[in-house]
Amino acid sequence: EVQLVESGGALVQPGGSLRLSCAVSGFTFSNYWMNWVRQAPGKGLEWVATIRQDGSGTYYVDFVKGRFTISRDNAKNSLFLQMNSLRAEDTAVYYCAKYTRAMGVWGQGTTVTVSS
Amino acid sequence: DIVMTQTPLSLSVTPGQPASISCKSSQSLLHSDGKTYLYWYLQKPGQSPQLLIYEVSNRFSGVPDRFSGSGSGTDFTLKISRVEADDVGVYYCMQSIQFPLTFGGGSKVEIK
């Protein structure tokens, strides 16, 4: 069974940092690009970042460039999102998703709250 | 950036009746490889999004055949032939022809 399990969400103060993780099982992780997508409370879906199979290429939405870093460890079947300089507007549920131009498999999400 | 515009924002449907959602993109989603990178997702209440339709009109694994997608270029439509109670939620279109990937604002389907 294909599974994506996010973790690492927490309450953090503005300006703080957080590292999200996504543990993957049920498919050959190293063969697939992966995404992070977020959803602010009561809002729609917003793409955040994508990483190629081997980590050689990464893509970000403008408003996280320079603050967030997507990475992966193919040996550990894990995807990460390092989030620095967090702002109140980064408050959201963060989902990881398997990417083949479509996002066919999603995790359950992990909640990040940025507040003082 | 490609802007994805969905209409309507919400719709209330009687069970067994059809429903239709429109999605328009600000640029053509037809790639030089011949594929059109337009997708439909459903987010049921309290759940993660799930893929319904890929590349305009292909149903994802396990998606009932009452869901269908159509369109080309910049204009796309998701149709539900006979709405069931389990279809409630917010439907999103998404393009992946180029970065940044962008979603429509969502269309909320409720049951009358």
* pLDDT above 90: residue A101: no
- Residue numbers in A near B37 (CB within 8 A): 101
Residue-wise pLDDT tens digits, B63-97 = 999 999 999 999 999 999 999 999 999 999 999 99
Interface residue B30 vs chain A (CB under 8 A): no
Residue-wise pLDDT tens digits, A68-95 = 999 999 999 999 999 999 999 999 999 9
Q: Do B48 and A107 touch (CB under 8 A)?
A: yes
For the record, the structure tokens of B79 come out as 């149709």
Tell me the β-bridge partners of A106. Answer: A97
User: Which single residue is written with the structure tokens 């369109």?
Assistant: B71
Residue-wise pLDDT tens digits, A7-46 = 999 999 999 999 999 999 999 999 999 999 999 999 999 9
String of DSSP letters for A51-106: E-TTSS-EEE-GGGTTTEEEEEEGGGTEEEEEE-S--GGG-EEEEEEEESSSEEEE
Burial of B59 (0-12, 13-18, 19+ CB in 10 A): middle
Best mutation site among A33, A101, A105 for testing chain B: the one with the most B CBs within 10 Å? Answer: A101
